[in-house]
Chains A and B, each alone.
Chain A
Amino acid sequence: DTAVSQTPKYLVTQMGNDKSIKCEQNLGHDTMYWYKQDSKKFLKIMFSYNNKELIINETVPNRFSPKSPDKAHLNLHINSLELGDSAVYFCASSPDRNGNTIYFGEGSWLTVV
């Protein structure tokens, strides 16, 4: 009955590969997010979708493409993986686009070798 769930939790892949991380929330929230945490624990927003509409798109390489098939799902696809993409990717959701309270998933640890 996890509120915000992401898969996979751990992913090790080679440079140049394409990979996806999936996220689902069962909270009935309208808005979902992807945040990235680097090796120094620094957290930064990447994208936000409200009811399948992209509302926040930070300066992220085009290799990163979010997809929201419905408001309960927000997947992150990464093309041509690079070493610098190694990080923890957190999915999150909030009741609405105001984002007054944001709940995070458990994170997906991506290692590019």
Chain B
Amino acid sequence: GEDVEQSLFLSVREGDSSVINCTYTDSSSTYLYWYKQEPGAGLQLLTYIFSNMDMKQDQRLTVLLNKKDKHLSLRIADTQTGDSAIYFCAERAHNQGGKLIFGQGTELSVKP
């Protein structure tokens, strides 16, 4: 079935780049997503990528998709303390509309 996996923790220093990785199993996924959740807050849609793309850039965020290896990554350039949050990778379940399959989330800690 569908499954999404991420490492649980990542710690970086302010100003460095952060790379959060994700693997998924459903090769028919058409959309893949990154959501951000700050403590006590909701889920913020950061960015998404369509499966026919290899890369998408949006300001400090770069998403890379390796469809062959079913690997998705989110790179945050010049990481700031305000980027500290949990980042969720998600794939849209095949033929099931808005059913998102989420990873367990990567907690990013940014140290000054």
* Chain B 49-79 near chain A by CB (<8 Å), digits 1 or 0: 0000000000000000000000000000000
Give the total number of A-B pairs whose CB atoms are below 8 A apart: 65
Point out residues on B near A: beta carbons under 8 Å.
31, 33, 35, 37, 41-45, 48, 86, 88, 90, 92, 96-100, 102, 104-105
Q: Which residue of B lies closest to A33 (CB)?
A: B98
Tell me the count of chain A residues lying within 8 A, CB to CB, of chain B. Answer: 28
Q: Do the beta carbons of A105 and B42 come within 8 Å of each other?
A: yes
Residues of B within 8 A of A55 (CB): 97
Chain B facing A: main interface SS = strand
Tell which of A35, A48, A104, A107 has the most Cβ of chain B within 10 Å. Answer: A104
Q: Which of A12-20, A36-44, A59-67 contacts B (4 or more CB under 8 A)?
A: A36-44
